[in-house]
Structure 1
Amino acid sequence: MEASEPRRRRAAIVCVDDEPAVLAAVARDLRRQFGERYRIVRATSGPEALGALKELVARGEQVALLVADQRMPGMAGTEYLVEARKLVPDAKRVLLTAYADTEAAIQAINEVDLDYYLLKPWDPPEEQLYPVVEDLLTTWEAGAALESGGVRVIGHRFSRDSHDLRDFLARNRVPMRWLDVERDSEARELLAVAAVEDGRLPVALLEDGTVLERPTVLELAERLGVSAAPASDHYDLAIVGGGPAGLAAAVYGASEGLRTVMVEREAPGGQAGTSSRIENYLGFPTGLSGSDLARRATDQARRLGAELLTVQDAVSLRVEGAGRILQLSGGGTLSANCVLVASGVSYNHLTAEGFDTFTGKGIYYGAALSEARSCSEQHVVIIGGANSAGQAAVHFSGYARQVTMLVRGDSLAKSMSHYLIEQIAAIPNIDVRTGAQAIAAGGDDHLRTLRIRDADGEHEEDVDATFVFIGAAPRTDWLDGVVGRDERGFILAGADAKAAGFPLKRDPYTLETTVPGVFVAGDVRARSIKRVASAVGEGSMAVSLIHEYLAE
């Protein structure tokens, strides 16, 4: 270990390899590129590296990255990473392998939640090493910043208003610390200093010293600069919705010279942004979280010149000559030559007894990843049997004592990807119950029980939190009477739009709606394939079609 340094110390990159020459080369290359930002700690065996990690943790130091060789005597790289993960669960993990070991490396992706594997030698490091490590460190830094906390939110865990603030900050990747007034003494001390009464919760304490009592999401967004007004009066392309389809369109539209603005009602990423892990997205063999995908796409869109407006929603659309006018929820308007509707879908709400009463108080729609740590050693119920439900079950199993999945159908195979079914089957604290449904929720100030009906009849179970994924409805009410929709509210495009009364002599473009110049992409389109990759494809394809439309 290196000699002690003055606080605050740089986070560590810990490298372990039993071959001195390889270890020296790894440390040299990493120090050359990242030495100013990180300390490079070396070890010649798995046990020695674990000892170094224990010392770092005991001193309160951060560990950003673990780099381990696979072939080491006594303790293989994968064995070491399994143990290291228990000490530093948030550190990124990289395995060094020879070509002959790639099979072991791929297997380790599932066994140790590996982030990447590198083939030796990595020459030149500028191409084979540095881009990979930089990407991993950037992702780690984003997570570390969120944990360090800029905004402090004080409230009751089972408060709908508190949950809404926490979820908004988490999904928009705003650094935040959550303080439960019933569990954290610091919360009560801060309330006393700020002279805030318990009835005025939740409270947001900003870094500039501002105290916001019972703020709405919009008020908090405005104070933090998350919400913004349009910078221009007119755009080539206005995108409604910031999910994968909308973000893809923002990236391609801006990169191809269109003045592009994207409007998102909650946070970039849309419904996909709440996914704990997307493992079948092309090009990411270790998978990535929905929030990581959203962060990468958002940064990319902004770098290329797209304008992103969050905590804004489109409430109406009207046609004025060649212009398409969007009315925004904040009171303003957007004018554009073309509009792309990528507003996505929202989870259906259960109408069973008690579910509305406890929404935000133990019952949540979607993954609500901000609640995961609060579910430590508790009983969590997931209602639904599609991929989103499966991803949530896997994620919460890492925190909860027990995760129970209630699936109406007789099998997961009807609606869930095979890889997820295998993962769930291998996790001991996930209990899948097919042919089961929740028919009532009970409690006092928050959820405490669910009444469940299954093949054995009805019975009541104690639960701590429930997350609901039971199908989705399109967000298209704001287009009623303007754009053609099917009986379920999904937007008609292409041949369907022509059959519904497209007004021009030419055929509509593949993703064009019944209103010329208004296009649709992603889950909100009728007949769409509900997958992240297809939404990204449609978003990028829409921009090509929009270019054709503008050239008419």
Structure 2
Amino acid sequence: MASKPTILAVDDDPVVSQAIVRDLRKRYGGEYRLVSATSGGEALALLDELILRDRSVALVVSDQMMPQMTGIEMLAEVREKSPESKLLLLTAYADTDVAIRAINDIALDYYMFKPWDPPEEQLYPVVDGLLDDWVDAHPPETSEVRVLGHRWSERSYEIKTFLARNHVPYRWLDLERDEEARLLLDLAKRTADDLPLVLVPDGDSLASPSTRDLAAALGLRTRAEQTLYDLCIVGAGPAGLAAAVYAASEGLSTVVVERDAPGGQAAQSASIENYLGFPKGLSGADLTHRAVAQAARFGAETVLASGVTGFETRGPVRAVLLEGGDSIEARAVLVATGVSYRRLDAPGVEELGMRGVYYGASANEALQCEGEDVYIVGAANSAGQAVLNFARHARRVVMLVRGSELEAGMSQYLVDRIRSTPNVEVRLNTEVGAVSGEGHLERLTLVDRASGDEEEVRASWLFVFIGATPRTDWVGDVARDAKGFLLTGQEMMASPSGEQWPLPRPPFALETSVPGVFAAGDVRQDSMKRVASAVGEGAMSVYLVHRYLATI
């Protein structure tokens, strides 16, 4: 039987040490093994013993002010020995600055002030969040989906991306590198023509399944349960998820329709460090996971792997049309489909497809580039976050920037971090002139935009983070600007489409040219393209939906 993961509590005051262990055992003793130490040295010795015995350490809780070795000094060594353990510092208010520095210096996960009474209000909510994050990253092996395929297979890449972005634990087995993959293929009585092969625990093997079939096999919801909703939200990015939380919590029957996976572009961010309330930052996947759970808690439905093809006005009802002929009817619709990265316009790109050239990147894709060179195109925050994430694993990361400076489109904190990372090279005034390779990416032609000089480099990985193309091809006659972004409120009325507004009242702030159809987030014209602003617009849209529903 697998042993329980460990929680290690450290405090030089035996009374305090006993108290923290008592409170932690009361809440977590059923699922975790609680051990304690009264000094940093003793704690590190215990940690060494646990590591030698292959025992997982989920959380280390330490006091800051201890003799010989402070809590931060001890936790810094814990981070080196057990990098995936969650670290919680207990400190006095006077040591706040030290704790904040530790967030950057040793990736401290959280700090809180002593005393922690009552633990139900002060301690447990913090520890719950840390342990939930640790459990998400360490699923039992028996619950893992296994994906068998080839490294350069487009369909394999799509399936892995779908699983990762839907927070489904999986293990990738490359048929060319892993003997286990070849054995499993034989046991499943499949051939290479069936790849990628998805092995679902307690389910049938799936040969190159569609995302909809895969979602159904995993028990994810792919159909709406009700015949009519108050609000249908198209798109489960930050704006859509925020709207779902507020709408469902305020009693509106709510459904969210998502083509790919919740989170949108934000879900692919390895670290969002300027989001209010998270001084250490959080990953886009973590933010998405929390938001999805929060929306579900209030009763919002999420329908996955369902592409939207159009919508119709059916009297007072708006119908969102889905692939396959299904539709969802609602009294109001919110378009929160966000944007996708613009395709790279260079010879060879379309021929290679997703065999070395990718658009965006989830945080876990960096692991596949261990020890290799990675090229990233783009200079906005999303590109900067990806550069730093890949730099943790790749031998070298080369950032290709069309402009003459990074600061033009990137937050300063990311610029500073990139310039201080030794294995990151920034090439300004540079663009991709062509890509080539036999069956997958092998070479890039780089063009100096100032001189016109060309250079050919060897490369297997190219990740593109450029431009923003709105997903509005399905909205029909709803007013858009020349680039496809939706016009809302006064901006819509100021356009030629405003002459077609059918009601005597003016449109609400986020309302499109069709009454009862709203837009929020990056899909709107002149939106801020920041997670916080998308969340704000999603919340604001629910207030406007209430006002609209009161008029019909």
TM-score (normalizing by structure 1): 0.95
Question: 1:208-254 deviations in whole A, cap 9, x for unaligned?
Answer: 24111222222211211224211111111111000011001111111
Amino acid at match of 2:138: A
| Aligned-residue offset at 1:391 | 0.8
Mark the CA change 1:250 to 1:517 in structure 2 (over 3 Å): closer, same or farther: same
1:44 aligns with 2:43: no
Task: Using the TM superposition, give the Cα deviation of residue 107 of structure 1 relative to its aligned residue in structure 2, in angstroms.
Answer: 0.6
Deviates more, 1:129-138 or 1:12-21: 12-21
Change (3 A) 1:495 1:126: same
Match of 1:87 among 60, 81, 89: 81
Q: Is the 8 A contact 2:273 2:282 kept in 1?
A: yes
SS at match of 1:215: coil
| Equivalent-residue separation in structure 1 for 2:18 and 2:457 (angstroms) | 57
Secondary structure in 1 matching 2:488: coil
From 36, 59, 62, the equivalent of 2:56 is 62
2:29 counterpart of 1:28? no
- Tell me how far 1:422 sits from its aligned partner: 1.8
Find the residue that maps to 2:325 and give its secondary structure.
coil
User: In the alignment, does 2:464 pair up with 1:468?
Assistant: yes
- Aligned equivalent of 2:375: 381
Alignment of 1:420-431 (within 5 A): 420-431=414-425
In the alignment, the residues of structure 2 paired with residue 538 and residue 115 of structure 1 have an alpha-carbon distance, to the nearest angstrom, of 29
Q: Distance in 1 between matches of 2:489 and 2:456?
A: 49
DSSP 3-state at the match of 1:183: coil
Stretches of 4+ aligned residues off by more than 4 angstroms: 146-149
Are the aligned partners of 2:269 and 2:362 in contact in 1 as well (CA < 8 Å)?
no
Structure 1, unaligned runs of 5 or more = 1-6
C-alpha separation in 2, matches of 1:201 and 1:295: 29
Provide the C-alpha distance between the structure 1 equivalents of 2:9 and 2:426, rounded to a whole number of angstroms. Answer: 40
CA positional deviation for 1:532: 0.6
Whole-Å Cα distance in 2 between the matches of residues 234 and 174 of structure 1? 30
Matches of 1:381 and 1:73 in 2, distance apart? 47
User: What is the CA-CA distance between 1:355 and the residue it aligns to?
Assistant: 2.1
Which one-letter code corresponds to 2:520 in the other structure? A
In 2, distance between residues paired with 1:204 and 1:159?
Answer: 14
1:546 & 1:29 partners in 2: Cα distance? 45
TM-score, normalized by length of structure 2?
Answer: 0.95
The DSSP-based 3-state class of the residue aligned with 1:127 is coil
- Check if 1:477 corresponds to 2:470: no
Give me the identity figure in percent.
Answer: 53
Which sits farther off after the overlay, 236-245 or 198-207? 198-207
Q: Deviations over 1:291-316 (max 9, x none)?
A: 11111111111111111101112110
**2:510 corresponding residue in structure 1:** 511
Map of 2:331 onto structure 1:
337
SS at match of 2:117: coil
Q: Which residue identity is paired with 2:32? A: Y
* Pick aligned residue for 2:484 from 482, 489, 513: 489
Aligned residue in 2 for 1:3: none
The one-letter code matched in structure 2 to 1:477 is D
Counterpart of 1:10 in structure 2 is 4
**Offset at 1:518?**
0.5
Alpha carbons 2:142, 2:201 under 8 Å: kept:
no
Matched ranges for 1:211-360 at <5 A = 211-360=205-354
Structure 1 residues 157 and 369, CA gap change in structure 2 (3 angstroms): farther
Q: What is the CA-CA distance between 1:157 and the residue it aligns to?
A: 1.6
Partner of 1:231, secondary structure, is: coil
- State the Cα distance separating 1:432 from its structure 2 match: 1.6
Instruction: Please tell me the residue identity of whatever aligns with 2:212.
Output: L
Question: 1:419 — aligned with what?
Answer: 413
SS in 2 for 1:79: helix
Q: Which amino acid aligns with 1:53?
A: L
Task: Report the alpha carbon displacement of residue 512 of structure 1 after superposing the two structures with TM.
Answer: 0.4
- More displaced 10-residue stretch of structure 1: 536-545 or 429-438: 429-438
Contact 1:365 1:468 in 2 (8 A): yes
Question: In structure 2, what is the equivalent of residue 4 of structure 1?
Answer: none
1:535 aligns with 2:534: yes
Greater CA deviation, 148-157 or 430-439? 148-157
Residue 56 of structure 1: CA displacement?
Answer: 2.3
Q: Take 1:186 and 1:94, find their aligned partners in 2: how far apart are those partners? A: 38
Letter in 2 for 1:495: Q
Mapped partners of 1:394, 1:513: distance in 2? 38
Residue pair 1:271, 1:346 contacting (<8 A) in 2 also: yes
Deviates more, 1:235-244 or 1:74-83: 74-83
Alignment of 1:174-193 (within 5 A): 174-193=168-187
Checking the alignment, whether the CA contact within 8 Å between 1:148 and 1:175 is kept in structure 2 is: no
What SS does the corresponding residue of 1:104 show, helix, strand or coil?
helix
Alignment of 1:72 with 2:63, yes or no, is no
Deviation at 1:444, TM superposition (A): 2.1
Return the alpha-carbon distance in structure 1 between the equivalents of residues 80 and 446 of structure 2: 35
Q: Offset of 1:36 from its aligned partner?
A: 1.1
Aligned partners of 2:259, 2:508: CA distance in 1, in Å? 27
Contact 1:146–1:176 (8 Å) recurs in 2: no
What is the CA-CA distance between 1:88 and the residue it aligns to?
2.2
CA contact (8 A) 1:375 1:464 kept: no
Alpha-carbon offset, residue 66 of structure 1: 1.7
Aligned pair in 2 of structure 1 residues 381, 81: CA closer, same or farther (>3 Å)? farther
1:371: which partner in 2?
Answer: 365
Tell me: CA distance 1:466–1:70, structure 2 relative to 1, closer, same or farther (3 Å).
farther
- The answer to whether residue 398 in structure 2 is matched with residue 404 in structure 1 is yes
Taking the aligned partners of 2:373 and 2:41, their CA distance within structure 1 comes to 35
In 1, the alpha carbon distance for the partners of 2:350 and 2:9 equals 51
Cα offset, 1:57, TM superposition:
2.7
Picking from 194, 204, 211, the partner of 1:200 is: 194
Q: Is 1:459 matched with 2:455? A: yes
1:437 matched to 2:446: no
1:330 alignment partner, SS class: helix
